[in-house]
Structure 1
Amino acid sequence: MTTPFGEAVRKLRVRKGVSQKQMAAALNVSPAYLSALEHGKRGLPTFDLLQRIAGYFNIIWDEAEELFLLARSSDPRVVIDTSGLPPEYTAFANRLAGQIRSLDATVLAELTALLEKGKKADGKAS
């Protein structure tokens, strides 16, 4: 298992031609932590670490911003706050949590498309 952020970090590391051990030493983190981060077994890294990663790869601002966005959307332990919403929202969130592992790629793509469509309809398109 990996996350979009973990995959992006791994690709940057491979492109630079460095091992996890080398990168971890340069960032002052343990190789085990870096491995867990790349494999989606750690939550959102700190902003400080994100800045160190961007600096380590000497990436331009746009690419760094994309990396930061990937990090924010890659926390494997998601919390959905439905307090104050109608009960059907809470029921939906819990049902999704219970079935997420069994969704196939087609259903995931359909749900993603619906969310993007709703985002654009709300005028929040990026």
Structure 2
Amino acid sequence: MTPFGARLRALREAKGVTLQQLAAALHVSAAYLSALEHGRRGRPSAGLVHQVNEYFELIWDDAEEMVRLARLSHPRVTLDTAGLSPEATELANLLAARIRALPPETLRAMRRLLGD
């Protein structure tokens, strides 16, 4: 699940909206929304994020948060370390190899360290 997908699902559940209802309102398929929620689709377009914000009547900080989450929600990330130090390349490879095994508290600590 991506950050955007998790927030979309939370909004739907809080408002009692089904995938089918939201899909009809946004003029997309329920399968597409499900794939977004489960991280099987890439980040949503700016237009779709705007539609979601309007549908759930999100304003200001909440709407900006959805934009931020969408930006950070590509499920297949590629790191280009060309031209960086050997340490940077090693770190990128270690993270790629071990990220699935990292406990949530470690992931949170890494996010804090990276400033997000």
TM-score normalised by length of structure 1? 0.83
Query: Do the aligned partners of residues 7 and 84 (structure 1) sit closer, same or farther apart at CA in structure 2, a change above 3 Å counting?
Result: same
Unmatched tracts of structure 2, length 5 or more: none
Superimposed CA distance per residue, residues 31-52 of structure 1 (whole angstroms, 9 cap, x where no aligned partner): 0000111111111001111111
Aligned to 1:68: 67
Cα drift, residue 110 of structure 1? 3.2
Aligned to 1:44: 43
Return the letter of the residue paired with 1:13.
Answer: R
Return the letter of the residue paired with 1:46.
Answer: S
CA distance in 2, matches of 1:30, 1:79: 28
CA distance in 1, matches of 2:114, 2:68: 17
Aligned to 1:79: 78
Aligned to 1:32: 31
Aligned to 1:112: 111
Q: Number of aligned pairs?
A: 116
Q: Which has the larger radius of gyration?
A: 1
Cα drift, residue 104 of structure 1? 1.9
Unmatched tracts of structure 1, length 5 or more: 117-125
Return the letter of the residue paired with 1:72.
Answer: R
Aligned to 1:100: 99
Query: Do the aligned partners of residues 12 and 106 (structure 1) sit closer, same or farther apart at CA in structure 2, a change above 3 Å counting?
Result: closer
Alignment root-mean-square deviation, CA: 1.6
CA distance in 1, matches of 2:113, 2:54: 36
